[in-house]
Amino acid sequence: MITARVWRERRQRYLNEAARCKGCGRIHFPPRQVCDACRGSDFEAVRLAETGKVLSWSIIRVPPPAFAQEAPYAVAVLEMDDGARMMAQVADVAPEEMRTGMRVRLEFRKIRQYGRTGIIAYGHKAVPVA
């Protein structure tokens, strides 16, 4: 059921909810049930830092069907200012403007639409910090 699948991730996708391990302090996105750094299972919900930087990136020119209208688009590994890592599209940037180390901010955007059901999934994309 695609509706449930999109809905159950709402706290991560809409609010950028991450989990801070009470054992070692590491922030995980998405939240986990077991910390892969210390094997702890006691977490508190935190919001991801809104700004961070690009660690590596690519321009997707051969996209999967759900992203056919958007190609070429940039996808990047991000390190947020709280140390958490995530992957996101980088929007509002031309391919030739992409740089490793670039500062970005997360913005709430439409991510994709699911097949015939037409369910729209929202989430966060990164945009360059001016």
Partner 1 sequence: MRDVAVIGVGMLRFGELWEKSLRDLCVEASLAAIRDAGVERIDSLVVGCMASGLFTEQEHLSNLLADSLGMGPVPATRVECACASGGVALRSGLMEVASGMSEIVLVVGAEKMTDVSGEACTATLATAADQEYEAFCGATFPGLSAMIARAYMEKFGATSAQLAAVAVKNHANGALNPLAQYQSKITVEEVLKSIMVADPLHVLDCSPVSDGAAACILCPLERAAKLSRKAPVRISGVGFATDSIALYRRPELTRLPAIELSAQRAFKMAGRKPSDIQVAELHDAFTIMEICALEEVGIVERGQGAQAAPAGRTALNGPIPVNTSGGLKSKGHPVGATGVAQAHEIVLQLRGEAGPRQVKGARIGLTQNMGGTGGSSVVHIFEA
Residue 92 interacts with partner 1 (CB under 8 A): yes or no: no
C-alpha distances (whole Å) from 41 to each of 23, 33, 45, 70, 84 are 8, 6, 13, 39, 17
Binds 35: which of Zn ion, partner 1, none (CB < 5-8 Å by kind): Zn ion
Among 38, 45, 71, 87, binds Zn ion (CB under 5 A): 38
Binds 57: which of partner 1, Zn ion, none (CB < 5-8 Å by kind): partner 1
Helix, strand, coil tally for the chain in percent (to 5)? 15, 45, 40
Neighbours of 129 (CB within 10 A): 12
Residues within the interface to Zn ion (CB under 5 A): 21, 23-24, 35, 37-38, 40
Residues within the interface to partner 1 (CB under 8 A): 9, 29-30, 36, 55-68, 70, 73, 75-78, 85-89, 95, 100, 111-112, 121, 123, 125
